[in-house]
Amino acid sequence: MPLKLLKYGLARDYPVTGDIPATPDLRKSYDVVIIGGGGHGLACAFYLSKYHGITNVAILEKGYLAGGNTARNTTTIRSNYITPEGIAFYKEGVELYGEMSQELDFNVMFSQRGQLTLAHSETTMRSFHLRAEMGKHMGTRLEVVDQKQVQELCPHLNMDYGGALEILGGLWHEDGGTARHDAVAWGYAAQASRRGVEIHQRTEVESINVNGGRVQSVTTNRGEIACGQVMIACGGANYEVAMKAGVRLPIRCYPLQAMVTQPIKPWLHTLVSSVSLHTYLVQSSRGELVIGGGSDPYQSYSTRSTLDMKEHLAQGAVHMFPFLQNMRLLRQWAGTTDMTPDYSPIMGASPLDNLWLDCGWGTWGFKATPVAGKYMAQTIANGKVPDILRPFGMDRFTSFELLNEMGATAASH
Amino acid sequence: MTRLNAPFGTRINQDNTLRFTFEGRTFEGFEGDTIASALAANNQWMLSRSFKYHRPRGVMSMAGAEANTLVQVAGEPNVPADLTPLKDGMVITAQNVNGNLARDRDAIMDKFGRFMPVGFYYRTFMGPTKSAWLKIWEPLIRKKAGLGIIDTATPRQHFDQQTLHCDIAVIGGGPAGIIAAVEAARSGADVVLIDDQPELGGSLSYAPQTDVDHQALGDMAQNEAGLRILTSTICNGLFEDNWLSLIQGHQLIRARAAQVILATGSIEQPAVFRGNDLPGILLGSAAQRLMHHYGVRPGGKAVVLAANPQGYSVAHDLVAAGVDVVAIADPRKDGHGVPPTGVPILQGMIQEAGGCAHISKVKIRDEWITCDLLVVSVGQTPAWQLPCQAGASLGYDEASHQFSINLKNPTIHLAGSVAGHIGHETVCASAGAAACHATGAEPEELPADPERASANYHQPLIPHPKGRDFVDFDEDLQIKDLLNAVKEGYRELELVKRFSTVGMGPSQGRHSALATARIVAGATDRTVAQIGVTTARPPTGPETLGVLAGHEHVNERRSALHQQHVALGAEMKPVGPWWRPYLYGTGDRTSLIHDEVAAVRENVGILDVSTLGKLEVRGPDAGAFLDRIYTMAHGNQPVGRVRYCLMLSEMAAILDDGVAYRLAEDRFYVTATTGAVGRVYADMTFWNAQWQMDVDVVNITAAFCGFNITGPRARDVVSALSSDINFSADGFPYLHGREGNVGSIPVYAMRIGFTGELSFELHCPASQANALWDAVMAAGKDFGLRPYGLEASRILRLEKGHILIGQDTDALTSPDELGFGWAVSKKKPFFVGKRALEMRRRLGQKRTLVGLTFPADAADIPGESCLVLKNDIPVGHVTSVAYSPTTKQTVALAYVAADDSAPGSVASIRCRNGRVIDTPVTAHCFFDPDNERQGI
């Protein structure tokens, strides 16, 4: 029995930690206003308050805390990307996850059990070799494995020898893992609010008032607030919120769906994904199988899930593990992903002096929560984009210095 | 235990006894039983241990909604015992027990409950080192996680799927659903009535009402001509545009309905008090289901908690079934019902239930009463899941203490108790009104519903000082857990759910949502309506991945010539969905492949290119349309000519290539690469939806076959065909196309090639491909015509430096990086990607595709995907590598920095073995650079 639990067992009344303070009244002005109370906004507020001494910060959240893609993603954490800039960035993200529970004194259950991506074609093997070469060059744990190694890493897979979907090999990413997504947001929220950051739930930004190339104030459903610096980190709503400041982002939104089965005793220890089947699976610490895939093939803001995708994901899962046919599905859901043309995020400066962007996170935002928070806080505190974020600037779309991560997502989109 | 006689036990056939085992003991049940009813008849009430505290649990709802009844049936985990029909010989065990069900060693967790408050796992398991979670704690927790055990050796079973269309789908076969369906059918609509139970009637099948003829209602539906009835079929999802997922055993039925009537009824709710989870505590409807459906007497000595009229009906039912009802507890101050003769009413709430593995006593008015059954009847919630999936919001009627559903969808209508109607007369009237709405008729006004006000009891939810008053049975959550979650700051319902896990178990909040909403509302000074329920998501009930996946089916495409290849000894390999000849013959594969290459270079070969995408683009704007889609000029392309096609994205990245053969002023035959044709077709239709040009695009990939005859003697072969096409050098120049016949087979002939040799490509309808293949093979016999496979084709193209889209290009490759400036029109005012291409040109080119050559005996030859480095920074990679038997060296294509792309520059490449080699770059054509062999 861990000692920390003694206080609960021995106290007469439940000892309240108070993770998330009730929403206070809005003040007239803040040094920093963060639009979007998801993982990224909360992480940024945490780093601002802890490492830069900036605590006069308001986080504005339209709904409930971290209820967007932070709540809906399938919690994969990895750094097996293709571009050197991307790998360097996500690699630090993975490392920050390794320290997060201690940093936040909140167990985010970072479980680094490795990710195995399967190749069913020579084309995929070729792309795995490229990712592995690039990953090794950048110092991540990433290697191409053959059929035998695939079987050893994941003994229950249907190898489909001789079939159209024979598993030819895989990409083994030992650094890959998962974490409890909600806990990441709550841990940041608790630590940031303890340092004075205000979290305003059910506070929707109605307009962003721009004058002289700067954001002067933000009007919400609860009143207008003046602001020194503003950051947009609104996930699926990024395009619309940025438009309120007159900033047009190169973003298109697609639904992304996932589903989860009833809990069973753990049998699957790694994350497994298949590029050809557009399906990936991971078993949570509750014993549920989380199953995800690629984005829907059309643009939409709807978060109502579809039967087509459910059938597709079930087909993929049952093909990989035929014995899953008797697993019962518990729930299917959807979120809105803000996709950029090159499948990399947009971080850093905007055309306005004091408006900062943490957008375009598409289907890959959760893993970057700590690292994006860390460097966006640095950006806002210093008024200057650090080198590691420079390649992700919005200006890359006019200079065509694109960061092509297409095909680097767990299931190809 | 003997069963009750008729009218009880409507579902079981006592003439057919089934034997099964549970936890190693043998039991008997009857045909028609569920696992749970058969066990209950044998006085086996405990079915499982709870998720967290390992408390004994058993049947509560008999409606298959809670984790309490999940059991393991052989290799299948999480089988709902109260829904699953009993089969002879079933081997059933309890789940989540350490030891056995009766003596679960983990039951000690119940004693340590106070050390495990809500969300405790976020507060600890973090030390002593950073890796402690992964190394120590998570493995421990994973051991305790989950319920059943999956058998990884389970063989694949058969699942089926079908599709159904109707005017009106009525979900729910209770009185409301029956009446709505029959009335809608009588108006002439095509109606399907769907119910998850084996018989129609809904609650009437187990809770008879004296003035309603349940049988007659069912007969009315059965006798209604044109009304399709699907029983034992659960509607698990209501998706956009009334796309329904219906699960019937191992079959998924996808249904599209113009109108939907939801008559999904209501879900009876448990009461919350200390010990409310003990086996032997049943919902009123569960007790009635056991008696009426299965003839099981639910206990010997019962107390009934009756806080509504239904509770009194259940008490009468119990007495009729021979149960000794010792008391009725009614917490209401007035409005008590009429108890069975001699049964006292005690005004008060159940304070506590006691017992070890089964209920043995209840405490009312501070006194313990001995009993072996507690039946609870305190109210219900409308079955909100399907309406909420369709976008309904929930309100809360403070007067009748129940959720109300607000659904504003003109094609979906509510009928019966899901709409809050309780009295039979109002239920029937609401069903008639729903049928009117669905058929466009004028509905009548609904009568008053006097029974509505008393159907729900608003139980004050005050935590018991000693806890164990469960709100969520699946997740072992008590009132204090939810209150503590709110105290920690998780004040929004979705946060309460995520922090406490309330509603996340198999019941998905069916029995906890109402109590949770009331508790959170009370703790945060808001109304129940402001709290509501968490987002309703499909599936409504459990469904297996197998039934969703359908029958085992891998998309597989074969060329019409597949059997020809097999007969010629081809080794077939999958390429995307297609199976293609990789090489022909048996023996040393390398020499077979090199022989095929040599045949093409020295003589003549034939390749099946039927997998190529084929599109017909037709209409007055066909040329103008292709001008916009592709980079070269097609508007001015003469009829009878073939032109290369290069397709760019809006970022000027290469998406695809192919050829366009102009058949007529308004008709093009366009090819696309095998893997990309779907995308190309989709993009063409996407763009034309915006441009609105007078053009039509048809994907005719499957309708046509093609093969390429290539090599120095190709003309000899085609000239030997019996054809009206003039294949002579003068009569058929390079990049020309001809329509004609070979024998009686209509063909498109094109002079194009990928190998660098003189080539003719013949395309014909797939239905005649075999005849054409035979004709060509016969014509080629004297010239040594030899089929060659994919691998030889790849070597042939690489020797010529021809690129493969997707292998030698990536998602950002521009035409300039390949040196494809010749393929981009400088005159056209617009094509997709033009603007981006011009911008990229202004910004300068960073990388270029070049050729590399390595002597056959080189020590280190880089593999595909090896990095090209400059100052130890990756600037490109090797895209294709192969040994060229024609030039007797290894040749490769690679991206290098644009500055280093001139022939003679040096590229640094890190081989797979880690060694970095410096190698000179060349132009990316390794054979016949002046294209003399192609006879241009």
B150, B533, B540, B838: best mutation site toward chain A, by most A Cβ within 10 Å? B150
- Spatial separation of the C-alpha atoms in residues B417 and B383, rounded to whole Å: 8
Number of compact structural domains in chain B? 6
Q: One digit per residue, pLDDT tens: chain A, 413 residues?
A: 577 788 888 888 899 999 999 999 999 999 999 999 999 999 999 999 999 999 999 999 999 999 999 999 999 999 999 999 999 999 999 999 999 999 999 999 999 999 999 999 999 999 999 999 999 999 999 999 999 999 999 999 999 999 999 999 999 999 999 999 999 999 999 999 999 999 999 999 999 999 999 999 999 999 999 999 999 999 999 999 999 999 999 999 999 999 999 999 999 999 999 989 999 999 998 899 999 999 998 899 999 999 999 999 999 999 999 999 999 999 999 999 999 999 999 999 999 999 999 999 999 999 999 999 999 999 999 999 999 999 999 999 988 888 989 866 544 43
Q: Which residue of A330, A336, A406, A413 to mutate against B (max B Cβ within 10 Å)?
A: A330
Whether A402 sits inside 8 A of B508 (CB atoms) is no
Q: Taking CB atoms and an 8 Å cutoff, what residues of chain B touch A286?
A: 145-146
Residue type, A1: M
Contact B133 A331 (CB under 8 A): no
B759-765: strand order across its sheet: B737-742, B745-750, B759-765, B704-710, B605-608, B786-787
Order of strands, sheet of B557-558, starting from the edge strand that comes earlier in the sequence: B557-558, B578-584, B570-575
A80 neighbourhood in chain B, CB within 8 Å: none
Q: Are residues B115 and B164 in the same domain?
A: no
Contact across the interface for B147 and A287, Cβ inside 8 Å = yes
Q: Are residues B261 and B198 in the same domain?
A: yes
Instruction: Give me Rg for the CA atoms of chain B.
Output: 37
The answer to whether residues B211 and B332 belong to one domain is no
Is A133–B865 a contact, with Cβ atoms under 8 angstroms apart? yes
Of B152, B156, B492, the CB nearest to A267: B152
Contact A133 B577 (CB under 8 A): no
Would you call B549 and A65 a contact, using CB atoms and an 8 Å cutoff? no
Region class of A74: left (phi > 0), else alpha (psi between -120 and 50), else beta: alpha
**Which residue of chain A is at minimal alpha-carbon distance from B505?**
A262
In a shared domain, residues B465 and B348: no
Q: Do B157 and A325 touch (CB under 8 A)?
A: yes
Cβ within 8 Å, pair B138-A109: yes
A307/B254 Cβ within 8 A = yes
Asked if the structure places residue B858 within a domain, the reply is yes
Q: Distance (Å, rounded) from C-alpha A317 to C-alpha B391?
A: 29
Which of B501, B218, B503 shows the shortest CA–CA distance to B385?
B503
Nearest to B538 among A101, A314, A332 (CB): A332
- Give the span between the Cα atoms of B92 and B19, in whole angstroms: 11
B808 in a domain, yes or no? Answer: no
- Is the residue at B627 inside a domain? yes
Q: Which residue of A has its CA nearest to B496?
A: A64
SS3 B129: coil
| A16 vs B contacts (CB less than 8 Å) | 484, 487-488
pLDDT at site B1: 60
Query: Domain boundary residue among B414, B438, B457?
Result: B457
Most A-contacting residue of B122, B507, B582 (CB-CB within 10 A), to test interface: B122
Do the Cβ atoms of B540 and B171 come closer than 8 Å? no
Q: Please name the residue of chain B whose CA is at the shortest distance from the CA of residue A287.
A: B146
| Cα gap B38→B30, rounded to integer Å | 7
| Structural domain harbouring B307 | 270-378
Q: Is B448 on the interface with A (CB under 8 A)?
A: no
Measured CA angle at B699 (ends B694, B704), to 5 deg: 125
Q: Which residues contact B365 (CB under 8 A, 6 or more apart)?
A: B346, B347, B348, B351
Domain of B99: which CATH number? 3.10.20.440
Q: Is residue B476 part of a domain?
A: yes
Token pair listed for A150: 């695939």
Contact B147 A402 (CB under 8 A): no
User: 3-class DSSP state for residue B815?
Assistant: helix
Q: For the segment B864-923, what is each residue's pLDDT rounded down to a tens digit?
A: 999 999 999 999 999 999 999 999 999 999 999 999 999 999 999 999 999 999 999 998
Nearest to A406 among B138, B146, B811 (CB): B811
A46 in B contact zone (CB under 8 Å): no
**pLDDT number for residue A11:** 85
Which domain CATH number covers B523?
A: 1.10.10.1100
What are the Cα distances from residue B421, in Å, to A231, A393, B181, B381, B392? 50, 58, 18, 11, 17
DSSP β-bridge partners for residue B581: B572
Q: Which of A:185-214 have CB within 8 Å of B? A: 186-187, 201
> Cβ contact (<8 Å) for B877 and A130?
yes
State residue A413's pLDDT score: 36
Minimum Cα–Cα distance from A288: chain B residue: B146
Q: Are residues B730 and B636 in the same domain?
A: yes
Give the total residue count for chain B: 936
Q: Which residues contact B264 (CB under 8 A, 6 or more apart)?
A: B171, B172, B235, B382, B383, B385, B386, B387, B418
Smallest CA–CA distance from A166 into chain B, residue: B574
Peptide bond before residue B410 is cis, with ω within 30 degrees of 0: no
Q: How far apart are CA B478 and CA B494, in angstroms?
A: 17
Per CB-CB distance under 8 Å, the chain A contacts of B112 are 1, 9
State the count of interchain CB pairs (< 8 A) between A and B: 293
Place of tokens 């009766």: B102
- Residue B68 domain-assigned (yes or no): yes
Contact B487 A123 (CB under 8 A): no
pLDDT on residue A83: 93
Q: Are residues B369 and B391 in the same domain?
A: no
Which of B242, B545, B793 has the most A C-beta neighbours within 10 Å, making it the best mutation to test the interface with A?
B545
| pLDDT of A409 | 54
Domains by residue range for chain A, with CATH: 27-114+175-250+342-413 (3.50.50.60), 116-174+253-339 (3.30.9.10)
**Which residue in chain A has the smallest CA separation from B389?**
A304
Question: Which CATH number covers residue B259?
Answer: 3.50.50.60
Shortest CA distance from B910: residue in chain A? A133
Domain annotation covers residue B578? no
Same domain as B167, residue B202? yes
The domain that holds B775 is classified in CATH as: 3.30.1360.120
The answer to whether the Cβ–Cβ distance between B545 and A318 falls below 8 Å is: yes
Give a yes or no: residue B324 inside a domain: yes
B664 and B529 within one domain: no
Together in a domain, B432 and B477: no
Contact check, Cβ <8 Å, A126/B576: no
Q: Would the CB atoms of B543 and A341 count as touching at under 8 Å?
A: no
Residues of chain B below pLDDT 70 = 1
Question: How near does any CA of chain A get to the CA of B149, in Å?
Answer: 5
User: Which of B525, B549, B573 lies at the terminal end of a domain, its last residue?
Assistant: B549
Q: Report the C-alpha gap between B378 and B458 in whole angstroms.
A: 8
Q: Is B910 inside a domain boundary? A: yes
In this structure, the answer to whether residues B699 and B730 fall within a common structural domain is yes
The Cα B547–Cα A328 span in angstroms is 10
- d(Cα B171, Cα B173) in Å, to the nearest integer? 7
The minimum CA-CA distance between A198 and chain B, rounded to whole Å, is 13
Q: Which residues from chain A sit within 8 angstroms of residue B75, using beta carbons?
A: 323, 326
Of A171, A211, A82, give the one whose Cα is nearest residue A135.
Answer: A82
Q: B74, B95, B122: which is the final residue of a domain?
A: B122
CB contact under 8 A, A311 and B126: no
The nearest CA of chain B is from the CA of A121 a distance in Å of 7
Whether residues B296 and B237 fall in one domain = no
Could you give the 3-state DSSP secondary structure of residue B839? helix
Among chain B residues, the shortest Cα distance to A113 is held by B134
Please give the structure tokens belonging to residue A281: 């699976």
| B314 and B213 co-located in one domain | no
Query: Which residues fall within 8 angstroms of residue B801, CB to CB, at 6 or more apart?
Result: B851, B893, B923, B924, B925, B926
Interface check B864 vs A, CB under 8 A: yes
